[in-house]
Amino acid sequence: MARPKSARSEDRTETSKRQIIDAAIDVIARRGLGKSTLQNIAERAGVSSALVVFHFKSKDNLMKAVLGHLTTIYEAGWEQSLRPIDDPAAKRLMRLVTYDLEFPGKHPKYLAAWYAFWGETKGGLLYKGIGRAGDDQCLRDIRQAIEEIVPEGRYEGIDCRCLAETIYIMTFGHWHVAHNEAERYDIALARKTFVDYLSSIFPGEDWTGY
């Protein structure tokens, strides 16, 4: 049975919007946020500026759509890294760390686009409104894994909140190197820094079997 005409029209609309969002990511990654215009995004997408305006109405709306798209992609991978959820907490935590460390190499264009938002005041405000909730959830997931490891391994004197913040900031530091000094970003070395660090805090866990 053929799909209704309205459904096919919606599919074409979503495909067109996705094409423009992908083009916007390319342009933002190369030009930065301030120098990215609806005109050069339209040229990159191979469509008219009128179509971009028709779909998104304004540059701000398009930028929000870009951030929403990037956030959805990142969070899908993060959620996948949490599974199986009944795995040992140390294994889940190292999977999350590994996902974060591998992301810049797999998606350098996305990382460049994020940095474009973070580097400008207006872009930073847009990011806080869209991406902050996801960042907070990532931090909670890291902390939850740590809070499971501590009693299971009978570790004492561990400040779970502080350790979660440290891991979160360490991964962001590796993103910074991957973005600004890509030629020296070594994923194997990045993993080893975490294996060594976590092994020093939780020596009874297997940090290599993730």
Number of domains in the chain: 1
173 located within any domain: yes
Give the pLDDT band of residue 10 (cuts 50, 70, 90).
confident
- Please give the Cα distance from 154 to 120 (Å, whole number): 45
Give the pLDDT band of residue 208 (cuts 50, 70, 90).
confident
Q: What is the pLDDT of residues 36-84, one digit of tens each?
A: 999 999 999 999 999 999 999 999 999 999 999 999 999 999 999 999 9
Q: What is the pLDDT of residues 97-121, one digit of tens each?
A: 999 999 999 999 999 999 999 999 9
4 located within any domain: no
Q: Which residues of 18-43 are buried (b: 16+ CB within 10 A; e: fewer)?
A: ebbbbbbbbbbbeebbeebebebbbe
Q: What mean pLDDT comes out for the span 8-23?
A: 88
Judged by DSSP in three states, 203 sits in coil
54 located within any domain: no
Q: What is the pLDDT of residues 128-181, one digit of tens each?
A: 999 999 999 999 999 999 999 999 999 999 999 999 999 999 999 999 999 999
41 located within any domain: no
195 located within any domain: yes
Give the per-residue pLDDT at 48.
Answer: 96
152 located within any domain: yes
139 located within any domain: yes
Range of the domain at 178: 59-201
| CATH number of the domain within which 79 lies | 1.10.357.10
Crossing angle (nearest 10°) for helices 89-106 and 59-81? 140
Q: Which two tokens stand for residue 138?
A: 């990532």
Rg over CA atoms, the chain: 20
Q: Which two tokens stand for residue 50?
A: 């009128």
Q: Which two tokens stand for residue 96?
A: 């999350």
Residue type, 112: A
Is residue 198 within 8 Å of residue 150, measured between CB atoms? no
Give the per-residue pLDDT at 1.
Answer: 47
Give the per-residue pLDDT at 12.
Answer: 87
Q: Compute the mean pLDDT over every residue in the chain, rounded to the nearest whole number.
A: 93
Q: What is the pLDDT of residues 181-201, one digit of tens each?
A: 999 999 999 999 999 999 999
176 located within any domain: yes
